[in-house]
Structure 1
Amino acid sequence: MGGVLDKDGSPEASVPKTKIEAKIIEAVRRREVQGSSMTAFNSIILKFPKIDESFRKCISTFEEFDEDGNGSIDPQELKNCFHKLEINFTDEEIDGLFEECDINDDMRITFNEFIVLLCLVYLLQKDPAAENCKSQVGVQSLKATFETLVDAFVFLDKNQDGYVSKNEMVQAINETTVGERSSGRIAMKRFEEMDWDKNGMVNYKEFLFAFTRWVGIDENDDEADKQDTDKDDDN
């Protein structure tokens, strides 16, 4: 669904389609009040290697959630883990998070989808008791990475409405590549990579999925891991 254009030519913020999406947008807007420490898009790019390394440390956490060891997490496995760790989410919220992150609608969460889910849980989770539970599965150690991702999104979202528009992406790239003719093309390419539903606005979830690809975490990693496992079984 395309957005309505506002005065500066950018689509107006979309209406959240689900309750969990509305909560994510609200949480992002609360965070945006604090502003961003980033001053250029290049500062985000320079953090790619460290973020990739942090993401890959989540593999053991993913395997813990994957109770049957089939390489993915189903809705019940996700609920079991949340309840076991006493993370303060209702079943409805857990289902909502699952649906938000299951971009293929195949009723399973793969590793890159799991990374996005963890980022969203971190953003949404406010219960101090749940913070302690997260440390038990190694997520608390990734706090700096999660904060960097939120900070990067806040930097891009210049008008702090919870969405990134094409104009905002162009502005962010131009601030980094002043005077370069290719800056507009770079901005458009990055924006298209983020705007999954092609509505002209990028929400935090879309940004996270694009980010996992930018740093090298994607479906290919899942397939490669599966192939390696199959080879080991054959030997």
Structure 2
Amino acid sequence: MGGVFGKGNSVKHNVAGSKLEAKMVEAMQQRALGGSTMKSFNNIILKFPKIDENLRKCKTTFEQFDEDSNGSIDREELKHCFHKLEIYLTEEEIKDLFEACDISENMGMKFNEFIVLLCLVYLLQKPAALHAKSHMGLPDLESTFETLVDAFVFLDKNKDGYVSKNEMVQAINETATGERSSGRIAMQRFEEMDWDKNGTVSFKEFLFAFTRWVGIDDVDDEDD
């Protein structure tokens, strides 16, 4: 999908994004208290195929709620989706999530944006809900979301809710000790994630980068 790493300039969009990001940081810091099961960046890479498989299964869910079959989900369709999945959010929360994840600002979420939004919803649910067997009714997808949260917790060494360049280097070095190319790989991965170029990576940025790494951006092209 083109324009995945574009930035919105409207004040309204930025305010909504800031509020949502603050909630994400708080939720991630709470989640980080439980630690990560990941031991190295290689652990994350080895999970790519399974993550890819489970995320692509979500395409059916996306198409189900794309009621007018135009290839994107608008805000009303998203409300119907949340109702069906028994996700209860306020109008303001839905608006903020939609504006934050509709990064192409075309008033409709493409498949990769929809996945990112659902993962953010998963993170932002109350901690008790995170440990429920399935609170969205999508157990495979929720398991994948937990893996993505776990991966971010592993990268976020100081548990401040963001991943810095130094933390990325540390994560790669833990995997590739003694390899001179490890620093270059870390920088490449970090640049792919830090699309607003502010020197830190939020969970939302991480998710969009991850969908690219596993090829989710290519799903629409494959279906054409």
Q: What TM-score does the superposition give when structure 2 sets the normalisation length?
A: 0.87
CA deviation string 1:13-68 (max 9, x = no partner): xx995222211111111001111111110010000001000001101110121111
Partner of residue 216, structure 2: 217
1:77 aligns with 77
Aligned to 2:9: none
Task: Please say which of residues 84-93 and 59-68 is displaced more in the overlay.
Answer: 84-93
Letter in 2 for 1:53: E
Q: Distance in 2 between matches of 1:150 and 1:176?
A: 19
Matched-pair contact (CA < 8 Å) for 1:37–1:151: yes
Distance 1:132 1:204 in 2: 22
Q: Per the alignment, in what secondary structure is the counterpart of residue 116 of structure 2?
A: helix
Match of 1:202 in 2: 201
- The C-alpha deviation readout for 1:55-84, integer Å capped at 9, x for no partner, is 011011101211111111011111222234
Q: 1:196 to 1:86 in 2, by over 3 A?
A: same
Aligned equivalent of 1:54: 54
How far the C-alpha of 1:217 sits from its partner, in A, is: 0.7
> Contact (CA 8 Å) 1:16, 1:22: kept in 2 or not?
no
Letter in structure 2 aligned against 1:117: L
The question of whether the paired residues in 1 share the 8 Å contact of 2:163 and 2:202 is answered with yes
What's the secondary structure of 1:134's corresponding residue? coil
Alignment deviations for residues 76-107 of structure 1 (CA, whole Å, 9 cap, x no partner):
11122223444210111111111111111111
Residue pair 2:16, 2:100 contacting (<8 A) in 1 also: no
Q: What is residue 37 of structure 1 aligned with on the other side?
A: 37
- Deviation, 1:223, is 3.2
Shift of 1:131: 7.7
State how far apart, in whole Å, the 2-side matches of 1:41 and 1:202 are.
16
Paired residues of 2:193 and 2:201 also in contact (CA < 8 A): yes
Per-residue CA deviation, residues 152-193 of structure 1 (Å, 9 max, x unaligned), is 000000000000000000000011111111111000000000
Query: Structure 2 CA distance, aligned partners of 1:151 and 1:60?
Result: 25
- Higher gyration radius (CA): 1
Q: What pairs with 1:81-230 in structure 2 (closer than 5 Å)?
A: 81-126=81-126, 134-135=136-137, 139-218=138-217, 220-225=218-223, 227=224
CA contact (8 A) 2:112 2:211 kept: yes
CA–CA distance in 2 between the matches of 1:42 and 1:208?
A: 17
Match of 1:5 in 2: none
Q: Is the 8 A contact 2:17 2:99 kept in 1?
A: no
Pairwise CA distance, 1:221: 2.1
Could you say what secondary structure the match of 1:211 adopts?
A: helix
**Distance (Å, rounded) in 2 between the aligned partners of 1:173 and 1:141:** 28
Q: Which residue does 1:7 correspond to in 2? A: none
Say whether the 8 Å CA contact 2:23–2:124 is kept in structure 1.
yes
Task: Name whichever of 80-89 and 139-148 sits farther off.
Answer: 80-89
Once the two structures are TM-superposed, the CA of residue 113 in structure 1 deviates from its matched residue by 0.8
How many pairs were matched up?
A: 207
- Seq. identity, %: 71
